[in-house]
Amino acid sequence: MRRNLAVIALLFSLCALVGALSSQAAAVVGSWNGWITDDLCKEKGATDPEHQKCAMKCVGEKGASFVLFNTGDKKTYKLDRQDLAKQHLGHEVTITGKVDGNMIMVDSIIKKTPK
């Protein structure tokens, strides 16, 4: 009986370790291009210069968050660095960091310069 309990405990430990390793492996390092906007309007307000005031109001009063609308895959990604995203609201940017699902752990946000 003790041996069975030890084997079961070992199996649970291995499963937990594999789960932890696979969740770390799921994060992908890269860069993404798009527009900083809010998660209520998303792509509707991304490229509109007049949208900045609306986005600030939504974040301040409605609990919205700043997000990246990625022009490549047309998806919206949550950003862990809200302070940095706020500085680039309404800008076309390149973000570097790690993505896991729909969340980017931001290393940097750089405003794109017009060509």
What is the fold of 28-111? OB fold (Dihydrolipoamide Acetyltransferase, E2P) (2.40.50)
pLDDT of residue 5: 64
Reported as a single tens digit per residue, the pLDDT across 37-89 is 999 988 887 877 778 888 999 999 999 999 999 999 999 999 999 999 999 99
Residue 32: HSE in the Cβ half-sphere, 13 Å Cα cutoff? 27
pTM to 2 decimal places: 0.73
| Tokens standing for residue 30 | 């890269």
What's the CA angle centered on 22, arms 18 and 81, to 5 degrees? Answer: 135
pLDDT(27) > 90:
no
| All structural domains of the chain with their residue ranges | 28-111
| Tokens standing for residue 68 | 């990246």
pLDDT of residue 52: 86
**Residue 89 DSSP one-character state:** B
pLDDT of residue 113: 87
